[in-house]
Amino acid sequence: MNRLTLLTTKECHLCVRARADLDAVAREAGVGWTEVDVAGDAGLAREYGDRLPVVLLDGAEHSYWDVDVKRLRRDLAS
């Protein structure tokens, strides 16, 4: 199971940058990540739809609207 999940949706301009940031941090840390489009899940769309993109670390919300790169690096290292 991947430690990181990026919640996105189509037409999300912030998601483009979040993908690049998350990919770089995950590669540095040697962990995988998964992308989930919330449009395919009504529950996720209700919960996260107005805050996309959202980064989940080990299933818990870590950041939204952008990737907090510094904090994510720290949290992955601990």
pTM of the model: 0.92
Give the pLDDT score at 49: 86
Is it the case that residue 72 has pLDDT exceeding 80? yes
Average pLDDT over residues 14-39: 96
Mean pLDDT score of the chain: 95
Taking domain 4-67, whether its CATH number is 3.40.30.10 is answered by yes
Give the pLDDT score at 71: 97
In the chain, where are the structural domains located?
Answer: 4-67
What are the tokens at 63? 């950041």
Residues in the chain: 78
Give the pLDDT score at 24: 97
Give the pLDDT score at 2: 82
Q: Name the nearest CA neighbour of 7 among 24, 31, 40, 25.
A: 40
